[in-house]
Amino acid sequence: MSKFFKFRVVNFLLISLFALASCKGLENLPGGDARENPPDPKARVKKNLEEGRGFRLDDAFKGGKKGGDFMFASANELWRASLDTLDFMPLSSVNYSGGIIITDWYSDGDSLDESVKISIRFLTNEVRADALDIKVFYKKCNQVASCKISQKTGSLSAELKKQILSKATIYKKQNKDKNFKPYDGGTTTRKK
């Protein structure tokens, strides 16, 4: 090897080590806080499996199930809660990957000249108050068929957000309870 090549390799390694050593925020990586994780490996395995974060090989070899278990959008609690809340309204556009639900114009049987349209945009998948951007539009038409459309912020969007978040919280708890499997220390899978 030439001296120039060795010089470049050594410089690259030194720069890489310096860059890694100067990185800040590494303590915020998920799973990196030792205070939240038990030091005993068996206790860590038990905790992870009970929270549904692990996998078990014995589940993969059990018979009766063919194919995969695809949940897609049904695994997202906010998405399910939003669709359940708006199930009485016709939907105009629903895009899970884009994170938006738009209803069609809806009016109850009492007033045919007034209708409402709701748009829900998902800002995050986490169940929290700032995860949804809900817009409510009102359309009021007179008998000559000239309509005025306006966006209003008020109690309807706040009530929708409250109802969606409460349903999503229930769905999240149900998923957590469903994924909970008590850890038996591996005694059932080991052959003695």
**What is the percent of the chain where pLDDT is above 90?**
21
Which of 103-107, 118-122, 140-144, 166-170 is predicted with the least confidence, judged by mean pLDDT? 140-144
Going along the chain from its start, the domains and CATH numbers come out as 32-63 (no CATH), 74-177 (3.30.530)
Task: Check residue 104 and give its pLDDT.
Answer: 92
Quick one: average pLDDT of 126-134? 88
Spatial separation of the C-alpha atoms in residues 157 and 81, rounded to whole Å: 15
Say how many C-beta atoms besides its own lie within 10 A of residue 142's C-beta.
9
Task: Check residue 56 and give its pLDDT.
Answer: 57
Reference 161, options 116, 127, 125, 114; nearest CA is 127
Spatial separation of the C-alpha atoms in residues 164 and 162, rounded to whole Å: 6
pLDDT at 72 over 70: no
Quick one: average pLDDT of 44-72? 58
* pLDDT tens-digit map of 22-38: 655 555 555 556 667 77
